[in-house]
Amino acid sequence: MQRIFLTWVSPHEYARQGVDFKFPAPKTCPNPECLMPIAPKKHGFYERNCLDFYYRGRILIRRYYCPYCGKTISYLPSFCLPYYQYSLAVIYLVITNHIESSMSYARIIRQFRDYYPELQLETQHIEFYLLRFIMNLHTIQIGLRQFWPDLCLPDFGLGIKKGAEKILHIVNDGFGEIHTFSQRFFEQCKRSFMSPMQNILA
């Protein structure tokens, strides 16, 4: 199973620290079928790609295992999303540029090529991220309702784009940073707000 932990360390600094990074140390097993008050044991690392504005390379993911139920737990830093190579900040910038700023795909690509040429963002990436976000709006609303039961949510009968804009405003106003929203949503809903229907690496 996977958990996301909140960190304000940049991907570059996280990668630089490597095994010396102060990873979270769970005190109990997070497996809902176990929850034994026994601290999981360290279980090495695995590597994964991280493509960010100023870092493109491999990072270490700390693993633990529960000596009682045997479940393995991987702890992802909050700048990552499960099954996505591009960082959360990159993905969210694409989404907000198109939905909030009404930037065309071509303009988004030009922006990335001007400022972050090594990212090599293509049209299919933009389409994929936007479609996934739009498809997940209902799930995101359910998650937001768990945080704020009295929250006034958008009526998508008025249009998907307007509804998506309001969801972004709620996320930005309510959580301040997308990293905070992403980590809290994952903890609350046991899935990423950009979780795919199948585990496809994007």
**68 with 110, same domain?**
no
* Residue 83 falls inside a structural domain: no
**22 with 92, same domain?**
no
* Residue 20 falls inside a structural domain: yes
Measured between alpha carbons, how far is residue 24 from residues 12, 68, 166 in Å? 19, 20, 34
**97 with 23, same domain?**
no
Lateral strand order in the sheet of 72-77: 2-5, 72-77, 56-65, 41-51
**72 with 93, same domain?**
no
Q: How many domains does the chain have?
A: 2
* pLDDT tens for each residue of 124-163: 999 999 999 999 998 999 999 999 988 888 776 768 888 8
**22 with 42, same domain?**
yes
Length of the chain equals 202
- Work out the percent of the chain whose per-residue pLDDT is above 70: 96
Domain of 103 in residue numbering reads as: 88-189
**94 with 182, same domain?**
yes
**171 with 128, same domain?**
yes
Record the pTM: 0.91
User: Does residue 74 contact residue 1 with C-beta atoms inside 8 Å?
Assistant: yes
Domain boundary among 34, 52, 77: 77
pLDDT of residue 161: 85
* pLDDT tens for each residue of 84-116: 999 999 999 999 999 999 999 999 999 999 999
Q: How many helices (H) and strands (E) in the chain?
A: 7, 4
